[in-house]
Amino acid sequence: MLLPLLLPRVRRFSVLLWPVLPLAMLTASAPPARPPHLLQLRLNGVPVKADTTYSRIEVSTGAGKVLTLAIARADAPDEQGLTILVDEFKPTPGIYRFKEILSGHVREAGYRVGDMSAESMACGVNEGEVRVTNVDAAQHLLTGTFRVVLCQTNVARSAAKRLVFEGVFHYPYEVR
């Protein structure tokens, strides 16, 4: 006896919920948001804003795959900025140390902004590393950190400054 009395109310209530239910189902099943692209740079411990329009990460697909990180400064986007080259790059997580000079690997970094120019090979000991912690081949995203030491090359050796660049990246890469 109660069912005939409740049925009109249930129908009226379900008509009101019908437009809301598909939206609730879509939002409940949506995949978690990916972290935004990130490119952080520090020079001698001081944060330097990176220009995400002109900065890029490239992975060549030819023999001896090369990873190139080219990070432009936001205050000098037309300048070369920091460039890090790592050959024999395998698109998997790993640590690529610069001190492996005798192995024949080309792992070096250079920096050019304004009248400042510096190279990792100019320091005597080629210190540095790139740590790749994640490679998302489907989304073309590379995640990791880097630390390189460069020495000025455009001044007398006695006046040359050591520059320590450190950074973090979660950034799309281009395949060349």
Residue 16 placed within a domain? no
Tally of structural domains, the chain: 1
Q: How many residues does the chain have?
A: 176
Task: Give percent of the chain above pLDDT 70.
Answer: 77
The C-alpha R_g of the chain, in whole angstroms, comes to 26
What does the pLDDT look like over 101-118, one tens digit per residue? 555 667 899 999 999 999
Residue 1 placed within a domain? no
Residue 26 placed within a domain? no
What does the pLDDT look like over 145-174, one tens digit per residue? 999 999 999 888 878 899 999 999 999 999
Distance separating alpha carbons of residues 105 and 173, to the nearest angstrom: 21
Residue 158 placed within a domain? yes
Closest C-alpha among 36, 43, 40 to residue 55: 40
Pairing of strands 162-175, 56-59: parallel
Average pLDDT of the segment spanning 46-53: 95
Q: What single-letter DSSP state applies at residue 67?
A: E
What is the residue-wise DSSP string for 128-167?
Answer: EEEEEEEEETTTTEEEEEEEEEEEESSS-GGGPPEEEEEE
Whether the pLDDT of residue 124 is over 90: the answer is no
Closest C-alpha among 88, 133, 124, 118 to residue 106: 88
Task: Encode 103-113: b = buried (16+ Cβ within 10 Å), e = exposed.
Answer: eebebbbbbbb
Residue 116 placed within a domain? yes
CA angle 96, 36, 29 (to 5 degrees): 120
Average pLDDT of the segment spanning 114-137: 91
What was the pLDDT predicted at 107? 85
Distance separating alpha carbons of residues 37 and 136, to the nearest angstrom: 13
| Residue 87 or 25, more confident | 87
What was the pLDDT predicted at 121? 87
Residue 102 placed within a domain? yes
Helix (H, G, I), strand (E, B) or coil at 11: helix
Residue 124 placed within a domain? yes
* pTM, entire model: 0.77
Is the Cβ–Cβ distance between 156 and 42 less than 8 Å?
A: no
Is the Cβ–Cβ distance between 149 and 128 less than 8 Å?
A: yes
Q: Name the residue range of residue 154's domain.
A: 33-175
Residue 21 placed within a domain? no
Mean pLDDT (the chain, rounded)? 83
Q: Among the listed ranges 2-16, 41-55, 135-149, which one has the minimum average pLDDT value?
A: 2-16
